[in-house]
């Protein structure tokens, strides 16, 4: 009997009793389930429409929640102010600041945008003259002919586009009204969602965890806290850095006498929400405008950009953001490339926080797999626990102190 148990068939050893085969079989089942769901995707279309309607105000309220919640917690814990009262006071202050900003900043921005649109034809004429002077050299006649042919084709395509845009504009008025209505509804709904998020701050995690089995409640709660902390660090850090970038560009452009300093500063702050490439993208419109003013202004704009980058990378980002996301720069760049290629500008902004959430979930699943799988030895588990644990110093007993004195 013992020999028959030892001498198992190759099918039993390689398939029935192989962890690799079982893992591949489970992966196959997962892909089959995904394939079946793709065939009945029409069933989930109402769910997608519901999420498309409800998620924009929820996301906006979530961003504002991570910005305002630390202040509410400070008022509640340190100054013992009632939470609902502190939320109401903060809402009133934010509403007053918004009204002040609309009354003071919007006229300035509107005047600068109007001036930019009015002066754009002269800028375009200056660019054409500069290009003509550049290609007036006989050596550049080949490029000049190509440029003229390209200019003619662009003009013809532009005329065709204008002929098509006019009827399409009247047809798309209904969709434009729908978009404006959706934006207004989001702006009106988000404050109410934000109020209840701030009011029931501690109840959200409890309401989610109560549906989880008891044996994984603690780990699920820890995972939700880790995700919330990661999102809070990223959102507050990025928005704070973007604000100071806008201020630095605005002040720098005012110092050098760059036109449309306020508009360019606001654009720089918004584009800075795109990691790594945002500030560089913000430089391009300023360089275009500076090129039409004077060559010296181009140099001044570049100097302002270098000073801003130095202050941002050496002072502001390390202090505010630091390395809280714990992502390697190469990983960040790859995430930006993939998210931008799949979802454009929205993907570039939302790609990193979504990747951080997936990283936390996958890391915790992998730790669970290591603890419950036979693929890893006890040494690997001890190393993993030691890496994630925070070392605590052991207390020194009186016997150890006496032995040290005797040794001395």
| pLDDT tens-digit series, residues 49-68 | 888 888 999 999 999 999 99
Residues 54 and 197 in one domain: yes
Mean pLDDT of 82-96: 92
Residues 75 and 193 in one domain: yes
d(CA 137, CA 141) in angstroms, rounded, equals: 7
Instruction: Give the pLDDT confidence score for residue 124 in this predicted structure.
Output: 65
Domain end position, chosen among 201, 233, 260:
201
| pLDDT tens-digit series, residues 155-209 | 556 555 545 544 554 455 555 566 778 888 888 999 999 999 999 887 888 888 8
Has this prediction a pTM greater than 0.85? no
Instruction: Give the pLDDT confidence score for residue 159 in this predicted structure.
Output: 54
Residues 109 and 228 in one domain: no
For residue 316, the tally of other CB atoms under 10 A from its CB is: 18
Q: How many domains, in total, are found in the chain?
A: 2
Asked if 290 and 297 count as a contact pair (C-beta separation under 8 A), the reply is yes
The strand ranges marked E within 368-407 are none
Residues 197 and 221 in one domain: no
Instruction: Give the pLDDT confidence score for residue 390 in this predicted structure.
Output: 44
Residues 231 and 197 in one domain: no
Chain center to CA of 193: 21
d(CA 145, CA 81) in angstroms, rounded, equals: 74
- Report yes or no on 189 lying in a domain: yes
- Report yes or no on 257 lying in a domain: yes
Chain center to CA of 123: 35
Residues 228 and 298 in one domain: yes
């Amino acid at each position: 009997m013992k020999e028959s148990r030892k001498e198992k068939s190759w099918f039993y050893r390689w398939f029935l009793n192989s962890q690799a085969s079982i893992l591949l079989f489970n992966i196959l089942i997962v892909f089959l389930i995904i394939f079946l769901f793709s065939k009945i995707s029409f069933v989930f279309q109402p769910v997608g429409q519901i999420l498309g309607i409800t998620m924009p105000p929820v996301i906006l309220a979530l961003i504002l929640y991570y910005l305002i919640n630390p202040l509410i917690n400070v008022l509640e814990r340190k100054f013992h102010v009632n939470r609902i009262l502190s939320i109401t006071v903060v809402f009133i202050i934010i509403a007053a600041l918004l009204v002040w900003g609309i009354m003071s900043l919007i006229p300035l921005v509107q005047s600068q945008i109007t001036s930019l649109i009015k002066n754009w034809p002269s800028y375009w004429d200056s660019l054409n003259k500069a290009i003509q002077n550049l290609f007036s050299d006989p050596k550049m006649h080949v490029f000049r002919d190509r440029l003229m042919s390209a200019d003619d084709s662009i003009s013809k395509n532009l005329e065709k586009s204008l002929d098509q845009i006019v009827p399409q504009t009247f047809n798309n008025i209904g969709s434009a009204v729908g978009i404006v209505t959706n934006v207004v509804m989001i702006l009106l709904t988000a404050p109410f969602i934000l109020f209840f998020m701030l009011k029931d701050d501690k109840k959200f995690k409890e309401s989610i965890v109560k549906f989880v089995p008891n044996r994984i409640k603690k780990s699920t709660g820890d995972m939700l806290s880790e995700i919330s902390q990661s999102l809070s660090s990223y959102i507050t850090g990025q928005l704070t850095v973007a604000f100071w970038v806008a201020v630095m560009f605005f002040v720098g452009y005012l110092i050098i006498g760059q036109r449309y300093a306020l508009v360019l500063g606001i654009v720089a702050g918004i584009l800075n929400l795109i990691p790594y490439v945002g500030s560089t993208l913000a430089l391009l419109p300023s360089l275009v405008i500076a090129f039409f003013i004077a060559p010296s202004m181009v140099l001044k704009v570049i100097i302002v950009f270098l000073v801003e980058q130095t202050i941002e990378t050496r002072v502001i980002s390390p202090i505010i953001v630091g390395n809280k996301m714990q992502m390697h720069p190469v990983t960040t760049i790859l995430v930006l490339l993939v998210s931008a290629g799949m979802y454009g500008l929205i993907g570039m902004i939302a790609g990193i926080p979504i990747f951080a959430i997936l990283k936390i979930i996958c890391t915790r699943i992998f730790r669970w797999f290591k603890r419950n799988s036979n693929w890893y030895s006890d040494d690997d588990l001890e190393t993993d626990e030691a890496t994630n644990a925070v070392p605590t110093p052991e207390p020194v007993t009186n016997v150890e102190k006496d032995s040290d004195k005797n040794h001395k």
